[in-house]
Chains A and B, each alone.
Chain A
Amino acid sequence: MTFMGTMTVVWYSALPWLWLLALMLVLFLVPQVIARMKGYAFTQKGGVGSKYLPPLVFVLALFLLPLHTQSSIAYVNTWVDWLNLIGASVGLGIYAWLVFHPVCYLRNRKA
């Protein structure tokens, strides 16, 4: 497949989800920017939220991602299925940490 062919497929795949990608970007950037203006770094101490919510998001994603595709975890069958599901769930867990960690930092700072 040519480069432009790949781009075209990626474009049409992303098109219905541009609103979600934009929303996720905002949810990621707003706490990051605010927290960093107040001395935040990834190495700072988080809080209960950033400790427990990302794993919870990971576990929930394992079940909810197949449901979101009108399927079920019972149909996750091959190693590629599991790799995709675990990879996507880990990604969402990391995203949750990136959102919650600065939020917790700001809460700690307030307290």
Chain B
Amino acid sequence: MSKNSLPFENVSRRDLLKFGIGAGVVGPLALSSTSAQAINTNAHFVIVGAGAGGTSMASRLSRALNGARVTIIDARERHHYQPGWTLVASGVWNKNKTLSNTQDWLPNSVEWIRGRVAEYDPDNNRVLLETGEAVPYDYLIVACGLQLRYERIEGMDVDLIGQGKGVGSVYASIEHAEKTNNEINQWVASGGGTGLFNLPPTALKCAGAPLKMTFTTLSKLEGSGRRDNFNVEFMTPSGGLFGVPFYNDFVKQRFEDQGVKRNDFWTLKGIDADTKKATYLVKGERTGEASSGHYTTGGGNQQQEWEETKDFDFIHVVPPMTAPDSILNSPLVFADDEAFPTWMKVDRETLQNPDYPNVWGIGDVMGMPSNKTAASVKMQASVLEQNILAYLQDRPLPARHNGYTSCPLITGIGKAMLVEFGWGGELLPSFSFIDPKQESWTVWVMKERMLRPAYYAMLEGRV
């Protein structure tokens, strides 16, 4: 807001409605209200991607900067609330609950280029679109998300999802999430058979989603009254189920209690949807038949590698994931000998690219342990805004990302645990009254009812 403007000059009708509805409920919180002083600049900011991170930063920058030009590049007309996809794939939500228009979230002052970036040219401060058009920038924020690599699984095609062949994947798109629910329901209605649930050999977004899909499917199987007729198996390429030891142990125990057979060091290599067979690359010490599960996993040099084939009636495919090709082919990617070679290079605390200081990252595209969730973006957006504003003013970067991420871990349809942690798996609970180690109806209600409003507030750059 400029110095001469009146207090409510820039407040929209929607903001006033929010104020009216919320004032009675949370009036006392007004005491904690803060407002930042806008910074004058004529810099051109280009944001690649209008997902959670890009939109949030567009909202924040357009409010925090006076005279700046903000351009956002994305071809998608629809904005997807991706944290809701597991609820759609579990039959809890209708898919329309996750859809909105990209335009509705972008501030009027932001220029939206409907296109895709084909090439990053940070040496010349520009990006090139697929159309060949060059878009120059003073500052670049990369928020383009990640690339799903289904093609790395032989025989896998997202078009197989929803064909009645027992292939599902919550990640492919909202339409495929809905079709995954249909495939699961069809399998449950069939009265028996084997379901294979997988983790990928790479970092993945919403790392809890494969577990959530397993737990919600177990709810359906148990609800059918014929649980004993179904064989459920979970494959882990790394031997781990969750990055935080407590939750890893919790899920392991829960799988045991609910009769889920775990196959550690199994990586999905290919599927044949017509014959309903999945091929796995297995690591370990081979001491028995796959069907009996008699494998002991070895370590170091003792490990052997071989292939196994499993029949399935339903398979939940989770693809390997990397940064998009445009990032992989650019100077912005981590080098092969660095920590995250298929992801964008940033300082994990400042979110700044160390080689090109006018380039910043946010969201799934960045190379860092975990942190590919909307909850991470919420924390990153605040850090990024503070650091970019400081950088503009030649001040030291003041904010540090602590690795915060959150996963309301659905452990069945109707209950969940509020998992929040930072670097090194340190628990970072937001609410002192919610036990992060207990399954809870309240957390389920938060996931089902409250997180989408909080996400929308994040898109508006308000939280």
Contacts and interface: CB of A to CB of B under 8 A. Distances in A.
5 contacts: A3-B32, A4-B33, A9-B453, A13-B449, A77-B441
Interface stretch (B194-202, B259-267, B273-281, B407-415): B407-415
A13 B433 CA distance: 21
B33 A3 contact: yes
B460 interface: yes
Given A10-B18, A12-B453, A71-B414, 16 more contacts: A1-B29, A2-B32, A2-B34, A3-B29, A3-B30, A4-B18, A5-B462, A11-B17, A15-B453, A66-B441, A69-B449, A71-B413, A75-B412, A75-B444, A77-B415, A80-B442
- CB-based closest 5 A-B pairs: A71-B414, A12-B453, A3-B33, A10-B22, A11-B18
A69 B14 CA distance: 28
B68 to A, nearest CB: 21
A77 B462 contact: no
A1 B462 CA distance: 8
Given A77-B438, A77-B439, A81-B440, A4 B25 contact: no
B463 interface: yes
A77 B415 CA distance: 9
Contacts, number: 116
Interface string A76-102: 111011001100000000000000000
B463 A10 contact: no
Interface residues of B, number: 42
B227 interface: no
A80 B434 contact: yes
A8 interface: yes
B414 A1 contact: no
B141 to A, nearest CB: 21
A43 interface: no
Contacts of A10: 18, 21-22, 25-26, 453
Interface of chain B, helix or strand or loop or mixed? helix
Contacts of B23: 7
A85 B29 CA distance: 24
Contacts of B453: 8-13, 15
A17 B203 CA distance: 38
A24 interface: no
Contacts of A3: 26, 29-30, 32-33
Given A9-B453, A12-B452, A70-B92, A81 B442 contact: yes
> Quick one: which of A7, A71, A78, A81 has the most chain B CB within 10 A?
A7
B90 to A, nearest CB: 10
B414 A80 contact: no
A71 B34 CA distance: 38
A7 B26 contact: yes
A36 B442 CA distance: 39
B290 interface: no
